[in-house]
Structure 1
Amino acid sequence: MAVLKVENLSVGYKSKKGLVNAVNNISFSIEQGQSLGFVGESGCGKTTIGMALMGLLPENASILQGNIIFNGKNLARFNDDEWRNFRGKEISMIFQAAMNALNPVIRVDEQIAEVIETHNPEMSKTDVYTQVKKMFDLVEIPENRLRDYPHQYSGGMKQRAIIAMALACMPRLIIADEPTTALDVIVQDQILKEIKQIQKALNTSVIFISHNIAVVADVCKDICVMYAGQIVEKGTREEVFKFPRHPYTKTLLGSYLSLESEENIKVPEMRDSPDLITTTGVCMFAENCNCKSQDCKNKTPEWVNLSSTHQALCFEDVLNKDEND
């Protein structure tokens, strides 16, 4: 049974020019203990999804339609009080900028303790700090660093502290939004290994958001590829990365250098991104697609089943043309 099921979710931002359709009619689900990755270029709507799932959308943004079903509850209908009681306990988030997520004038252990006390007011101080120490052990931060301030931590330790904070109340789902940004490759590898180990140990579901294909492939079993507010292809890691079918997925994969091939990588030319205010009801990738048909600019693409687990939001003649080229 799915721990989270998102149905036809759309999110819009109010702007001076009009309503920006940042997330447009997306659906997905994730099982308990499984990992789901969202990959795509900057501005495609990945982080907006994470913020919608956490009830942290900015004031100029709102859920326009759709349902977010978690453990039988529709989060899209939550009020502020319900979100405060829910956020951090059932679903938690590892934020992108560790330094910005930590209060610089409060000791790290106190910040993690506050999360635990907020959702478990009946716990004694002793039990709270026992849980804090447990979280630090889980992310491999030495106990003698518990009382440090954030500025005394390295970048990797700050990120581990953020992970400890996200895990403090043992949530059923963790949303990791670019958790390895600005870290060197060695620390990045360590953080990814820890996330996988923690997920296995706690049987926690993970939604991993990144523009880095290699990182998502390392962590996630299932993948959603996003472009201009839409999921354009979804399937298992092997299906999406080894046998991509949507033209955008192929373009995205083609933009990454490969150490396995000696051939020169030819990065496909990309024109301007579509206008998310005025462009609706057509294929968002049509202007950049070398395989487009007449339907692409006049009709709304539909999901094409490529296998029992692999789908692409496109037209069958475009998929077939691209496959045969």
Structure 2
Amino acid sequence: MPSSVMPTSNSGDGRPSPTAVSTVGLRKSYGDRTVLDGIDLRIPAGSVFALLGPNGAGKTTVVKILSTLITADGGQAQVAGHDVAADPQSVRAAIGVTGQFSAVDGLITGEENMLLMADLHHLSKSEGRRVTAELLEQFDLTDAAGKPAQSYSGGMKRRLDIAMTLVGNPRIIFLDEPTTGLDPRSRHNMWQIIRELVADGVTVFLTTQYLEEADELADRIAVLNDGRIAAEGTAEELKRQIPGGHVRLRFTDPSAYRSAAAELGEVTRDDEALALQIPSDGSQRALRAVLDRLDSAAIEADELTVHTPDLDDVFFALTGGTGVPDQPKETVR
């Protein structure tokens, strides 16, 4: 395949869709320590892909390889249809990268940081000023544009960081833990920015230590552990792989409660609360089966709730519960 041809993957409706990032058998070692041991990825264009994993799992190594900052020891990788090893210049022209640590120069103003990036992308002065003004407005930084960046809050610096990444109009953006250290409000503002980028057709490759962030944003999620992809799928697909899901039925009529318990068979009873817990994978089919059995017996529950494992449960099950940082947990599900 020529490096200028964008590969395709199958879309949900069966039609081929462009693949923004793909890897086959990607490998990387440092001395005798294997960090990546054969990574296969295929990320459709215009989507958010989240890579999760314990500290030191190799998430940043994947980003560095795909953004041409380091070379792989083996395997193949394509970004925007270009071979990462054979045509790194074309890859760099198509991507933007925001690393774990801010690239903002605190000694100059936000506007000067932006104009510096415009110069690095060889934009004319007029074009650079136009793009700078548009991005500063888009990221709500116009009022602070003339202030030294060192005076910005953490959230403002992160917004400026991403705005600088967008100066070259990349179609694929790598965000390596973009919200680490931000307060909840700033984190939610960053999520909205990411959604807007994807709505404009940008592909976002996200690494994060905040599991609810992946749950909230990602179209697909992969869990990296021991150098391999332990699991990949949508958030709901991953949750259904983990045991512990159940349907909870609550009753106000004791006789209906007893009848339901007898009808459903394998249930966990809570006689004090008049509640039954039925194992379930949370799927529509499993829920319909429970409701059909109740309907056939003319039993009506007063309250029904479906409980599925969350991404925390998925993470612990797939990684053995190691390497999870202390983090504030927000209820977003």
After TM superposition, list the pairs within 5 Å mapping 1:245-264 onto structure 2: 253-254=312-313
- Alignment of 1:229 with 2:242, yes or no, is no
TM-score (norm 2): 0.66
Q: Distance in 1 between matches of 2:134 and 2:205?
A: 23
Q: Distance in 1 between matches of 2:34 and 2:318?
A: 26
After TM superposition, list the pairs within 5 Å mapping 1:1-325 onto structure 2: 1-14=18-31, 19-57=32-70, 62-78=71-87, 82-83=88-89, 86-87=91-92, 89-98=93-102, 101-119=103-121, 121=122, 123-141=123-141, 143-200=142-199, 202-244=200-242, 253-254=312-313
Structure 1 residue 86: Cα displacement: 4.5
Q: Distance in 2 between matches of 1:207 and 1:75?
A: 16
Aligned to 1:208, what secondary structure does the other structure show? strand
Q: Distance in 2 between matches of 1:206 and 1:268?
A: 24
CA contact (8 A) 1:97 1:181 kept: no
Cα RMSD over matched residues?
2.7
Q: Distance in 2 between matches of 1:270 and 1:5?
A: 27
Instruction: Show the counterpart of 1:283.
Output: none
Aligned to 2:100, what secondary structure does the other structure show? coil
Q: Distance in 2 between matches of 1:131 and 1:224?
A: 34
Runs of 4+ in 1 over 3 A off after TM superposition: 242-245, 266-273
Structure 1 residue 125: Cα displacement: 1.0
TM-score (norm 1): 0.68
Q: Distance in 2 between matches of 1:185 and 1:229?
A: 31
Change (3 A) 1:11 1:77: farther
Q: Distance in 2 between matches of 1:114 and 1:154?
A: 21
Structure 1 residue 170: Cα displacement: 1.3
Structure 1 residue 157: Cα displacement: 0.3
Percent sequence identity over aligned pairs: 24
Q: Distance in 2 between matches of 1:172 and 1:162?
A: 17
Instruction: Show the counterpart of 2:7.
Output: none
Report the structure number with the largest CA radius of gyration: 2
Q: Distance in 2 between matches of 1:253 and 1:8?
A: 27
Aligned to 1:144, what secondary structure does the other structure show? coil
Aligned to 2:85, what secondary structure does the other structure show? helix
Q: Distance in 1 between matches of 2:83 and 2:147?
A: 39
Aligned to 1:168, what secondary structure does the other structure show? helix
Instruction: Show the counterpart of 1:259.
Output: none
Structure 1 residue 252: Cα displacement: 7.2
Q: Distance in 2 between matches of 1:116 and 1:9?
A: 33
Q: Where in structure 2 are there 5+ consecutive unaligned residues?
A: 1-17, 244-308, 324-333
